[in-house]
């Protein structure tokens, strides 16, 4: 009888140990999931804040700016629910709500047109930012937080920003080719830029201005080429005329 009680007690203790370990593992798993969730949304917030820093370099529309702040606020709300005692999260949440309201009521785009990049490195950096913004818009649209019409308009606007950056780089390389007297390369790049712009049905004023500038440069190249060709033809005619006069001067005289 005593042995039976001892075995039952040992079994019960083992059972309790197993249950305790299972509970510990469950709590640890919950804590790990919570940390992973908090880290995920912290990274989302940091990314949005980083992207917003480029509003002075790239033209950010009101819809795009609102999307970034709303994405931040959504992550802050999740973090606040997971950790309601965190004063820092609560403070950032209140600050983001205030900024969001400010954008909704008073936002004005700092610059409607794109400021051309000053270097190849800056152009590459700007293209990466635009790519990240387009990916973020796609995520928000897929999650049902961004309407179809808004997504289409904003994605197309960013696509045109990409085009402007590439065209600004093309203009720079064209200018370099002209400085190096490589008119053939300059002509190829100008024709390429105009060919791309010809396929854009919704050009804004800046793109129209770029198109006019490219066409003007191409016309100047054509005129310079025509002047050079005319001079060459004139020189050939003069040489032929001079040769003809010399031939007449030294040709054998006929005997009558």
Q: Which of 28-37, 42-51, 92-101, 147-156 has the lowest mean pLDDT?
A: 28-37
- State the chain's mean pLDDT as an integer: 86
Which carries the bigger pLDDT value, residue 89 or residue 238?
89
Average pLDDT over residues 223-237: 70
DSSP the chain: -HHHHHHHHHHHHHHHHHHHHHHHHHHHHHHHHHHHHHHHHHHHHHHHHHHHGGGGTTT--HHHHHHHHHHHHHHHHHHHHH-TT-HHHHHHHHHHHHHHHHHHHH---S-SSPPPPSSHHHHHHHHHHHHHHHHHHHHHHHTTSS-HHHHHHHHHHHHHHHHHHHHHHHHHHHHHHHHTT-HHHHHHHHHHHHHHHHT-TT--HHHHHHHHHHHHHHHHHHHHHHHHHHHHHHHHHHHHHHHHHHHHHHSPPPP-
Categorize the per-residue pLDDT at 133 as very low, low, confident or very high, splitting at 50, 70 and 90. Answer: very high
Q: Is the pLDDT of residue 239 over 90?
A: no
Tokens of 112: 């409607």
Q: Which of 7-21, 95-109, 112-126, 183-197 has the lowest mean pLDDT?
A: 7-21
Q: What is the pLDDT of residue 256?
A: 45
CA–CA separation, 135 vs 173, rounded Å? 29
What are the tens digits of pLDDT across the range 37-96? Answer: 889 999 999 999 999 998 888 989 999 999 999 999 999 999 999 888 889 999 999 999
Q: What is the pLDDT of residue 31?
A: 83
Whole-number percent of the chain with pLDDT over 90: 57
What are the tens digits of pLDDT across the range 172-221? Answer: 999 999 889 898 899 999 999 999 999 999 999 999 999 999 999 999 88
- pTM over 0.85? The answer is no
């Amino acid at each position: 009888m005593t042995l039976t009680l001892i075995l039952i007690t040992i079994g019960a203790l083992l059972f309790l140990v197993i249950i305790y370990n299972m509970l510990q593992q469950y709590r640890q798993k919950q804590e790990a999931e919570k940390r992973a969730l908090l880290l995920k949304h912290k990274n989302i917030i940091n990314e949005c804040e980083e992207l917003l820093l480029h509003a002075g370099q790239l033209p950010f529309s009101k819809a795009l700016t609102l999307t970034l702040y709303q994405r931040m606020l959504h992550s802050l709300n999740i973090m606040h629910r997971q950790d309601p005692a965190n004063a820092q999260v609560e403070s950032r949440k209140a600050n983001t709500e205030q900024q969001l309201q400010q954008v909704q009521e008073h936002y004005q785009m700092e610059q409607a047109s794109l400021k051309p990049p000053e270097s190849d490195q800056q152009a590459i950096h700007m293209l990466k930012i635009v790519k990240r913004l387009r990916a973020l818009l796609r995520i928000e649209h897929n999650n049902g937080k961004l309407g179809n019409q808004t997504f289409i308009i904003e994605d197309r606007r960013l696509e045109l920003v990409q085009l402007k950056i590439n065209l600004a780089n093309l203009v720079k390389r064209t200018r370099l080719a002209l400085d190096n007297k490589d008119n053939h390369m300059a002509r190829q790049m100008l024709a390429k830029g105009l060919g791309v712009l010809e396929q854009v049905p919704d050009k804004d004023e800046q793109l129209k201005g770029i198109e006019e500038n490219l066409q003007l440069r191409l016309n100047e190249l054509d005129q310079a080429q025509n002047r050079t060709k005319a001079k060459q033809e004139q020189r050939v005619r003069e040489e032929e005329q001079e040769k003809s006069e010399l031939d007449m001067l030294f040709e054998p005289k006929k005997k009558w």
